[in-house]
Structure 1
């Protein structure tokens, strides 16, 4: 089936983002738009039609990861089930996903291109925290949890779930409990719920 004039092929956008993930991990900001287009198998025109700059690509990559991690917050379920799924998604991305190269690439980018680092944080981890905070505020309004400061609680939950996983991934150190992600996610959610259950 042919595409209508002006219709965007999402597969090409995904190929661009996948290529950019690899190249940013390998080269940091030294990766060029030409290299991204070649790796993705698209023309430069196609690349620029979708993403006008490396900053736009970085934002899109971070947003894609945030969407995947926060998907459980859009599901129906009791708070413990939702938070277990959220913690699992967060850990899976860091421990078993493509996060190693991405985090190392970001560490290389940050001092040289703080605008890109800031955009990545805001569109990715920052957006995930905002979504978790909004979800926690909703649970508070519904009386399912008692969360007087949803922003603080969102950071607290993320920290509990990840522990040192970010640091281990960044440094390329083995995760000692990498095969226990489901158990760790359940325990994090259970303890968090216990701390924020209404009196």
Structure 2
């Protein structure tokens, strides 16, 4: 079945992002736009039509990652189930062996181009924290959780989930395995929900 023009464009964009992610992980900013185009199988003109610079590519990759990590927040359900799904999504993208190289790539970039590091953080982890904070605020207004400071609670939750995950990724230290990730996600969600359970009106007045 022939693809519509929009589908073809989307496929090329995905190929560019996949190629760039792999090259950034391997070589940091030393990867050139020419190399990205070659690995993606597109012309330089096609690449520049979509992304004017490596900064824009890095931002798009971070946005893509953030959207994938926070997808469980859009699905509804009980807070504990949603947080468990979010935690597992986060762990899979930090601890899975095929994903850790991308974090080391960001470290390679950060020394030479701190402005790109800021872009990556704001569009990726920073945006994920904002989305989680907004979700926690919604849950608090609905009476399902009680997070007086959603921003702080969001960072607390992600820290509890990841532990030393980022550090292990940067140092190329073996990560926790798939089964332990599931246990970590389940335990973190359960403990967080207990810690921020809503207080009954009777308990407040006691």
TM-score, length of structure 2 as denominator length: 0.92
The answer for the alignment partner of 1:192 in structure 2 is 192
Spell out structure 1 runs of 4+ moving beyond 4 A.
none
CA distance in 2 between counterparts of 1:193 and 1:139 reads: 11
Give, in angstroms, the shift of residue 96 of structure 1: 0.9
The answer for the alignment partner of 1:89 in structure 2 is 89
Q: In structure 1, the residue corresponding to 2:11 is in which secondary structure?
A: helix
Q: Provide structure 1 residue ranges, at least 5 long, that are not aligned to the other structure.
A: none
CA distance in 1 between counterparts of 2:3 and 2:141 reads: 48
Give, in angstroms, the shift of residue 178 of structure 1: 4.5
The answer for the alignment partner of 1:135 in structure 2 is 135
TM-score, length of structure 1 as denominator length: 0.95
Give, in angstroms, the shift of residue 182 of structure 1: 1.1
Structure 1 residues 124 and 176, CA, compared in 2 at 3 Å: closer, same or farther? closer
CA distance in 2 between counterparts of 1:71 and 1:135 reads: 12
Structure 1 residues 51 and 8, CA, compared in 2 at 3 Å: closer, same or farther? farther
Structure 1 residues 188 and 7, CA, compared in 2 at 3 Å: closer, same or farther? closer
The answer for the alignment partner of 1:54 in structure 2 is 54
Give, in angstroms, the shift of residue 102 of structure 1: 1.0
Residues 136 and 150 of structure 2 are in contact (CA less than 8 Å); yes or no, is this contact kept in structure 1?
A: yes
Residues 95 and 176 of structure 2 are in contact (CA less than 8 Å); yes or no, is this contact kept in structure 1?
A: no
Q: Say which one has the larger Rg.
A: 2
Give, in angstroms, the shift of residue 99 of structure 1: 2.9
Structure 1 residues 165 and 72, CA, compared in 2 at 3 Å: closer, same or farther? same
CA distance in 1 between counterparts of 2:8 and 2:130 reads: 29
Give the superposed CA RMSD: 1.4
Q: How many residues align?
A: 198
Matches for 1:10-25 after TM superposition, within 5 Å: 10-25=10-25
CA distance in 2 between counterparts of 1:110 and 1:24 reads: 11
The answer for the alignment partner of 2:110 in structure 1 is 110
CA distance in 2 between counterparts of 1:97 and 1:71 reads: 21
The answer for the alignment partner of 1:72 in structure 2 is 72
